[in-house]
């Protein structure tokens, strides 16, 4: 059944999927667990960093504001690629346990930062099985939100095959 918003009603399903910010608004509030997927950087970087014992704080893609946010919570702001800990998963291979990292991105981090939900998981190819198992343990209704990619100044969404 199609809703007036143009998004299909998925209430009869335990696992629901919608893309980007609009999808997050539509299905997250009616799910017990939310899984954000932004495979090619954000959620994979989260998996690498947290596996090493770091804490990741998502933030929308605004470099000066991200640095201020990091300072306000006693965290390290992510650097540009090649200049320290960054959105690049390989840069996080040696991040120390206990490090607090503010990790901005225009897609996955922006979704994770803006969500008001108590059960949010970061899914990627590296942790797909573990996230699926944990989501099933945390609730019966699961919203999977592939981030996609925001395009241009208009804010249009490009669904991403990898997500």
DSSP, residue by residue, 42-94: HHHHHHHHHHTT-EEEEE-S-HHHHHHHHHHHT-EEP--TTSSS-SSGGGGTT
What pLDDT was estimated at residue 24?
Answer: 87
Using 50, 70 and 90 to split pLDDT, how confident is the model at 19?
A: confident
**What is the mean pLDDT of the segment spanning 144-148?**
89
Instruction: Round to whole Å and give the CA distance between 150 and 158.
Output: 6
Least reliable range by pLDDT among 4-8, 64-68, 123-127: 4-8
Q: Which helix (H) or strand (E) holds 131?
A: helix 128-138
Residue 49 has pLDDT above 80, yes or no: yes
Q: What is the pTM of this model?
A: 0.87
Render pLDDT for 60-94 as a digit per residue (tens, 0 to 9): 987 689 999 999 999 999 988 778 999 999 999 99
Average pLDDT over all residues of the chain: 87
What pLDDT was estimated at residue 2?
Answer: 45
Determine phi and psi for 119, rounding to 5 degrees.
Answer: -130, 90
DSSP state of 7: P
CA distances from 19 to 39, 45, 103, 128, 137 (A): 13, 20, 21, 18, 23
**What is the mean pLDDT of the segment spanning 99-121?**
92
Residue 4 has pLDDT above 60, yes or no: no
What pLDDT was estimated at residue 1?
Answer: 42
What pLDDT was estimated at residue 78?
Answer: 93
CA distances from 56 to 19, 45, 79, 98, 113 (A): 23, 9, 14, 10, 11
Residue 6 has pLDDT above 90, yes or no: no
Q: CA geometry: angle at 111 spanning 106 and 112, to 5°?
A: 115
Instruction: Round to whole Å and give the CA distance between 163 and 71.
Output: 31
């Amino acid at each position: 059944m199609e809703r007036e918003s143009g998004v299909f009603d998925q209430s009869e399903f335990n696992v629901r999927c919608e893309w980007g910010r609009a999808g997050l608004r539509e299905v997250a509030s009616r799910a017990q667990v939310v899984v954000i997927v932004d495979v090619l950087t954000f959620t994979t970087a989260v998996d690498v960093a947290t596996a090493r014992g770091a804490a990741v704080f998502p933030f929308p893609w605004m470099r000066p504001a991200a640095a201020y946010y990091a300072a306000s919570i006693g965290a390290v702001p992510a650097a540009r690629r090649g200049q320290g800990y960054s959105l690049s998963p390989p840069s996080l291979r040696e991040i120390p346990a206990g490090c607090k990292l503010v990790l901005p991105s225009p897609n996955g981090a922006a979704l994770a930062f803006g969500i008001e939900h108590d059960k949010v998981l970061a899914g990627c190819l590296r942790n797909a099985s573990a996230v699926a198992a944990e989501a099933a343990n945390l609730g019966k209704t699961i919203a999977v939100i592939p981030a996609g990619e925001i395009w241009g100044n208009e804010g249009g969404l490009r669904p991403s095959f990898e997500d």
